[in-house]
């Protein structure tokens, strides 16, 4: 897309999708959706349960193939270049699947290693992110025993491990208490101010009104 530079001097990486469709059997989960999310802004996607938000995010994240339509993350096509797309984007799922007995910290370290961070860098990054999402005191707890809101925060941290330019956050506020919601809003504004593209979904318009551009 545009070759403008963001406040950090990096080339701006936005999302452009056109004419996306995806059905599951007879259910048309996503029907001809086009959207644009620009770098340096928080873009909101609002719709009721079952309206296709998660299906759309999965396609943008290179995790599900559209039946029709095109997607560009910057100049990367996630359908043709899933590896390049996954390097660019951080995806926070609507609910975090946890890995066996891995602790919160180990979950982040393994994610960092999967993104090719050296061991020491992955450890340092994990600690930094645990601090950011206020899970340091639970660093060694198995991720599967975390509460719903704590899992949400770990999911956000996991999406950030490789310092992605583009964030796809599927219902990030769901399960968070009021204080954590305020903190999340600050974080989203900060990510946008850093020049990242932030696409965030919710089924509650009011939840996004204060944070989206």
- Residue numbers at the binding site for Mg ion (CB under 5 A): 53-54, 94
Nearest approach, Cβ of residue 156 and ligand ATP (Å): 17
> Of the listed pieces 34-42, 49-57, 80-88, 144-152, which binds ligand ATP according to CB under 6 A?
49-57
- Torsion of the alpha carbons at 66, 70, 74 and 75, rounded to the nearest 10: 110
> 92 pairs with which residues across the strands?
169
> Of the listed pieces 22-30, 32-40, 69-77, 187-195, which binds ligand ATP according to CB under 6 A?
22-30
d(CA 177, CA 149): 7
For 179, phi then psi, to 5°, come to -65, -40
Does the footprint of ligand ATP cover residue 204 (CB under 6 A)?
no
User: Closer CB to ligand ATP, residue 47 or residue 118?
Assistant: 47
Does the footprint of ligand ATP cover residue 47 (CB under 6 A)?
yes
Nearest approach, Cβ of residue 94 and ligand ATP (Å): 5
d(CA 72, CA 29): 20
Nearest approach, Cβ of residue 180 and ligand ATP (Å): 19
- What is the token pair recorded at 88? 């660019």
* Beta carbons of 14 and 20 less than 8 angstroms apart: no
Residues binding ligand ATP (CB under 6 A) = 24, 27, 29, 47, 49-55, 94, 203
């Amino acid at each position: 897309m545009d070759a403008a530079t963001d406040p950090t001097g990096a080339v701006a990486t936005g999302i452009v999708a056109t004419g996306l469709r995806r059905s599951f059997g007879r259910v048309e989960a996503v029907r001809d959706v086009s959207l644009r999310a620009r770098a340096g802004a928080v873009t909101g996607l609002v719709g009721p349960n079952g309206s296709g938000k998660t299906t759309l995010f999965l396609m943008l994240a290179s995790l599900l193939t559209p039946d029709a339509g095109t997607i560009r993350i910057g100049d990367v096509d996630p359908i043709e270049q899933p590896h390049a797309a996954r390097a660019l984007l951080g995806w926070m799922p609507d609910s975090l699947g946890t890995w066996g007995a891995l602790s919160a910290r180990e979950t982040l370290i393994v994610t960092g290693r999967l993104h090719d961070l050296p061991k020491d860098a992955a450890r340092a990054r994990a600690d930094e992110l645990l601090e950011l999402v206020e899970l340091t005191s639970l660093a060694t707890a198995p991720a599967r025993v975390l509460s719903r809101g704590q899992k949400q925060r770990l999911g956000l941290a996991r999406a950030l491990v490789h310092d992605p330019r583009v964030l796809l956050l599927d219902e990030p506020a769901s399960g968070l208490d009021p204080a954590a919601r305020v903190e999340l809003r600050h974080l989203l504004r900060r990510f946008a101010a850093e020049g990242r593209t932030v696409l965030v979904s919710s089924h509650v318009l009011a939840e996004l009104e204060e944070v989206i551009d």
